[in-house]
Structure 1
Amino acid sequence: METESLVETLEAAGLSPYQADAYVALLELGTASATDVADASGVPAPRIYDVLRSLEEREYVETYEEGSLRARAHSPSVVLNDLRSRANRLEAAAEEVEQRWEQPELEAGDASIVTRFRTVIERAEAFIRNANHQILLSTTTGNLRRLAPALRDAVGRGVSVRVSVHTGEDEAPPDPDLFEGVCIEARHRPLPAPFVALADRRQASFAHHPDSYDRYGVLVNDRTHTYVFYWYFLTVLWEPWETVYEAASEGLPAEYLDIRHLVRALRELDWRDGPVRLRVEGYETGTGEERTVEGTVVDVRVPYASKTRSGFELAGQVTIDLDAGGDHVSVGGWGALVEDIEGTRLTIVDAPSTP
């Protein structure tokens, strides 16, 4: 670095112009009288004494009397520590500015476009750590490992976590051990796919896959917009692909991701032939308050009549009616309006046979 650039850098680090000039001159002189430092640095002679003493207070130099005032530069350790500390603070400030620009706080009903994937995955991690009920995740194995600590913590809190892992053409299928403790069910899509993280049916974090022409991310804190990402996850990233991991053993209780999955299971059980007991965790549609109810299935209302259908038709209202201790309770899926409860976790706890 040239002398002029060094002086400018020291000024940026907090020295006055006279202090920076005098210190750089003293570094070159080693030990010198105050007048020699003034001559070498261009600092006016009447000011050099105050400048040297101010540098001494900062532990940049030391002064002593030897017929006249003389000065020498201290060991640079103090200066180096000072400069490095300032550099670290500047770097931290730069990162904070970038983060705040890229990652604005999301108020309820907000949606933001961001340009870096790091912002998308960091916000996804925050969504996961704050989730109370359900997490749906589409990711690569590498990003799954990054999010694994937050996912394990969520599973430990009783959050229902499902993961769709996508791999490239030359990648091996994911090892089932990868999912141990981080989700209750995982599926494998052997094709590139976007990164999608959905939390509690309200928050979404989305980014195109790395090879996509469009490189941007979307952050959402809104039920309506998140509902769109949910259907994309369900129909493209989940339903068509093979299950590669299930934490629960076969049998009951059996938890279902969507009310349509539950209807399919009820058909396989032939629920009319014997009592099927269902536990529903969700929200009252009238008040928005959380509610858990358990009862016997008394009716399944779907917009199609044929029993040969799969039970996962996408359009139309799907409702399950329960007898909960003599009370009639109707249960709908995500976005339910006319039912009593919007079910977020649907679990068959007892049935004549296992689906």
Structure 2
Amino acid sequence: METESLVETLEAAGLSPYQATAYVALLDLGTASATDVAEASGVPAPRIYDVLRSLEELEYIETYEEGSLRARAHSPSGVLDDLRGRASRLEAAAEEVEDRWEQPELEAGGASIVTRFRTVIERAETFIEEATHQILLSTTTANLQRLAPALRAATERGVSVRVSVHTENGESVPAPDLFDDICREARHRPLPAPFVALADRRQASFAHHPDSYDQYGVLVNDRTHTYVFYWYFLTCLWEPWETVYDAAGDGLPIEYLDVRHLVRDLRELDWERDPVRLRVEGHDTATGEECTVEGTVVDVRVPFASDASTGFELAGQVTVDLDVDGEHVSVGGWGAIVEDVEGTRLTVVDAPGLE
């Protein structure tokens, strides 16, 4: 490093211009009188004494009398520790500035646009770690492996996790053991797709595929906006694709991702003759509080009849009515308002026609 650059760097580290030039001059001189330091550094002679004493207070040098005031540089170890400490603080400050720019706090009802995928996946990991009910994830195999510890922990605490893995042309179908202990069900989409992570129907983390023309990410902490990503996940990333892993296997109980999936199966059963018992975890629409109810299906209400097999023709109000110990309880899907319960996890626990 040139002398001028070293002086500028020392100034950036906190020394005054006179302190920096005097110290660099003394490093070159080793031991010198105050007059010689002033001459070598260009510090005005009347100022050199104050400058040297201030450097001594900082423990950069020491002064002594030998006919006149003389100075010598200390062993640089202390100076190096000081400079490295300053450098560490500057580096930490730089990282904090970057984090605050890339990862704005998501207040309730908030949404943010970010520019780097790292921000998107780190926030997705946080959403997964905080989830209590449901996680829906669209990702590559590599990013799934990165998120696997958080997904495994979520599964262990009872969160319902479903994963849609997308692969490029020529990539093989993911092996089932990739999903062991990290999700309830996985599907494979053999086409590129965006990264999408949804947690508890409130938080969303989205990023375009790396080859997309648009390169930005979206972070959401809001039920209404997350609902849009939810339907995109169901219709484009989940429903059309083949199941490659199912932790539940055959038989009961059967857990449904959406009330529309449940209704699709119920419409094929003679539930009026062979009673279907359903457990619903969700929220009381009157109070917003979490609740769990279990009862027998007594009615299925859909906006119109259809022979379509996907179940997504039921885009309007879809309601399942239950008899819960003699009390009528109506159950709707995401965003239910007129029903008694918004179902977030629907599980058939007894159904002769599904056994």
Worse overlay, 322-331 or 67-76? 67-76
**Match of residue 321 from structure 2:** 321
Correspondence 1:221-236 to 2 at 5 A: 221-236=221-236
Cα 1:75–1:177, aligned 2, differ >3 Å: closer, same or farther?
farther
Kindly indicate whether residue 117 of structure 2 is the aligned counterpart of residue 117 of structure 1: yes
Correspondence 1:1-355 to 2 at 5 A: 1-305=1-305, 309-354=309-354
Take 2:329 and 2:86, find their aligned partners in 1: how far apart are those partners?
Answer: 64
Q: Does structure 2 retain, via aligned residues, the 8 Å contact 1:256–1:346?
A: yes
TM-score using structure 2 length: 0.93
Is the partner of 2:38 in helix, strand or coil? helix
Worse overlay, 269-278 or 284-293? 269-278
Cα 1:268–1:30, aligned 2, differ >3 Å: closer, same or farther?
farther
Take 2:316 and 2:58, find their aligned partners in 1: how far apart are those partners?
Answer: 75
Take 1:248 and 1:75, find their aligned partners in 2: how far apart are those partners?
Answer: 69
Take 2:310 and 2:115, find their aligned partners in 1: how far apart are those partners?
Answer: 40
Cα 1:81–1:172, aligned 2, differ >3 Å: closer, same or farther?
farther
Take 1:170 and 1:13, find their aligned partners in 2: how far apart are those partners?
Answer: 54
Q: Does structure 1 retain, via aligned residues, the 8 Å contact 2:306–2:313?
A: no
Is the partner of 1:272 in helix, strand or coil? coil
Q: Does structure 1 retain, via aligned residues, the 8 Å contact 2:204–2:226?
A: yes
Take 1:307 and 1:203, find their aligned partners in 2: how far apart are those partners?
Answer: 34
Take 2:83 and 2:353, find their aligned partners in 1: how far apart are those partners?
Answer: 72
TM-score using structure 1 length: 0.93
Offset at residue 111 of structure 1 (A): 1.9
Take 2:310 and 2:211, find their aligned partners in 1: how far apart are those partners?
Answer: 34
Offset at residue 331 of structure 1 (A): 0.7
Offset at residue 259 of structure 1 (A): 0.8
Cα deviation digits, residues 23-42 of structure 1 (max 9, x gap): 11111112222221111111
Take 1:305 and 1:78, find their aligned partners in 2: how far apart are those partners?
Answer: 82
Cα 1:276–1:48, aligned 2, differ >3 Å: closer, same or farther?
same
Take 1:177 and 1:45, find their aligned partners in 2: how far apart are those partners?
Answer: 78
Equivalent pairs counted in the alignment come to 355
Q: Does structure 1 retain, via aligned residues, the 8 Å contact 2:270–2:353?
A: no
> What's the C-alpha RMSD, in Å, of the aligned pairs?
1.9
Offset at residue 291 of structure 1 (A): 1.2
Cα deviation digits, residues 85-134 of structure 1 (max 9, x gap): 22222122122222222322222222222222122222222222222211
Offset at residue 230 of structure 1 (A): 0.5
Structure 2 letter corresponding to 1:256: Y
Cα deviation digits, residues 193-236 of structure 1 (max 9, x gap): 01111111111111111000001111222211111110000000
Is the partner of 2:272 in helix, strand or coil? helix
Structure 1 letter corresponding to 2:3: T
Take 2:282 and 2:126, find their aligned partners in 1: how far apart are those partners?
Answer: 22
Q: Does structure 1 retain, via aligned residues, the 8 Å contact 2:302–2:314?
A: no
Structure 1 letter corresponding to 2:71: A
Is the partner of 1:288 in helix, strand or coil? coil
Structure 2 letter corresponding to 1:48: I
Q: Kindly, what percent of the aligned residue pairs are identical?
A: 83
Structure 2 letter corresponding to 1:11: E
Take 2:170 and 2:250, find their aligned partners in 1: how far apart are those partners?
Answer: 32
Q: Does structure 1 retain, via aligned residues, the 8 Å contact 2:33–2:71?
A: yes
Q: Does structure 1 retain, via aligned residues, the 8 Å contact 2:239–2:310?
A: no
Cα deviation digits, residues 274-302 of structure 1 (max 9, x gap): 12111001112222221110001111222
Is the partner of 2:300 in helix, strand or coil? strand
Cα 1:82–1:342, aligned 2, differ >3 Å: closer, same or farther?
same
Take 1:306 and 1:169, find their aligned partners in 2: how far apart are those partners?
Answer: 35
Is the partner of 2:296 in helix, strand or coil? strand
Take 2:83 and 2:188, find their aligned partners in 1: how far apart are those partners?
Answer: 51
Cα 1:170–1:25, aligned 2, differ >3 Å: closer, same or farther?
farther
